[in-house]
Structure 1
Amino acid sequence: MTARTIHLPVAARPSIADIVSLAQLAEERGYRRAWLPETWGRDAATVLSAIAERTDDIGIGPSILNVYSRSPALVGQTAASLQELSDGRLRLGIGPSGPAVIEGWHGQSFERPLRRTREYVEIVRQVLSGETVNYSGDVFTVGGFRLRSDPPEEPVSIDAAGMGPKSVELAGRFADGWHALMLTPDGIRDRLEDLRRGAELGDRDPDDVRVTLSTTCAVSEDGERARRLARQHLAFYVGAMGTFYREALSRQGYEDTAEAVATAWGNGDQEGAIEAIGDDLLDDLGAVGTPERAREQVRKFENIEGVDRVAVSFPRGAEQDELEATIDALAPEN
């Protein structure tokens, strides 16, 4: 049965306490896990620590830590610490991100993202085992590293994020789960074929690879306000965050829309970019509008065979009360 999780806001909130309060509300409403994005705001480890300390049962996890700005040994240490602090509630999400973030913000060369992600998974697993890590790969060489603390009693599952066929295949072959985003129902079905192929290449059962689909959700009694927020969010990611979101939409049959959004945004016409996102794309990618309509749309994603978790995520421009209203409206018991 598909379970419902929450993907905490990507936009900066007024305080860490505001983020924690959303995780607490999600726990009260029956969501299974609170995922926290790490972009250009507060770092994930600090905020997840606060959430772990102020909640009891809800799972936690970063979605995602990129594989360029920290070493895999450090991420292994961080995962071990968060697993201890949360009493075994951590699930680790990693991925390569993209050139705009890695080269523009972190000053690293965006080279060999797939190979780097694979080696990252392997090294982090070795670190978390508590054994001495001696690893010689194409990207990383690690010698003699070992945790000084005891390894986690509860193993930490490692999920890989990906949008393209090869990155999804990699998740199926090497990771414990796959994080999917900006995918239509038909789009995720196509990528699930890549996941199954990767699992077969790794001699694994595809059912053992957990699939989490992050879906943009905005709920308001004013349905048009909710849809406007979602359009703004999608326009920003397609227009301002490099080419891979645009390419993902193109693979799913929305090439003209993706190009129109990117062109308008690149010309400084943000309003034109927002208006280029039609109702068909909005309904294909998210659950937005009145409570009744949004609940129906979430169930559409949950009914896709092969999707294990739907993560309720939020548009960048949503206010705290709108976030809380969406959490309430899309709570699992609803």
Structure 2
Amino acid sequence: MPAVSFQSVTKTYPASRQQRAQGSAGLRALDQVTFDIEEGEFFGLLGPNGAGKTTLISILAGLSRPSSGSVRVHGFDVQADFAQARRKLGVVPQELVFDPFFNVRESLRIQSGYFGIRNNDAWIDELLQSLGLADKAEANMRQLSGGMKRRVLVAQALVHKPPVIVLDEPTAGVDVELRQTLWHFVAKLNKQGSTVLLTTHYLEEAEALCNRIAMLKQGRVIALDRTSELLRAAASNVLRFKTDGALPAALAGQARVTGRIVQLPAHNAHEVEQLLAAVRQAGLAVEDVEMRKADLEDVFIDLMAGEQTPLEVAR
């Protein structure tokens, strides 16, 4: 039995009066999303902003209802068996949500109470220690920095020892120390058998941590495979160099440009020679030329640059 199962999940938001007048029936945020996450997997859910990742997680957590389809957690339907399904989940949301009237330890005790758990101090102490919060246990939530509040959200999600952990952009805007602390602890829980579902825009994290990945684009699954297989399907090498000039149009369309850094896919030595020749013919001066293996970001960009799918529901 899968830890999490999404079956033909569709979510449609009704059109406004103005949109209906223009012939639109609404916005389809998710379109027949189907995949399973096995017990003990570290699974990545990737996609650009607006792809439907948070909508899918909201449905999984019971915060939103699908227009059609079903979602199960350890066999429990998130709508029909919501209490049992919710006990199996620990969700770390994107937003910083906290109660300003309690300190860290009190917040975790209250969260335990939501799940009917008493005398949970031993596990709370372990969470505080593992997430670098031990010295903040008696601090009021209002006194914490953004990064510390993020750590408390993680602790709240784990306080009832859920077998499925959902991390929705957990490291967005946080420092390196928190990232390392979080990933060390979550990797430890995963090795102990916890299932982890991660959404992130830091693709190097997904590449390093996730065994399998699904990519969403405009509400549809456009890739679903093991991370190693996705990387194997990419261009075997990437040419990387720095330049101050503008690339010719023939190269600009396939280049990944960050400031002065240009990266171009190259399958073999012949393609490398052709690319460098085109750069020289354009009169560009280059420096720091190097080759590297393709990474998950290259795969992601290639897939997202493919044929667009419609956002609007056909009438």
TM bin, normalised by shorter chain, reads: 0.3 to 0.5
Q: TM-score, normalised by structure 1?
A: 0.31
Kindly indicate which of the two structures has a greater share of residues assigned to strand: 2
Bigger RCO of structures 1 and 2 (CA < 8 A, at least 6 apart): 2
Kindly indicate which of the two structures has a greater share of residues assigned to helix: 1
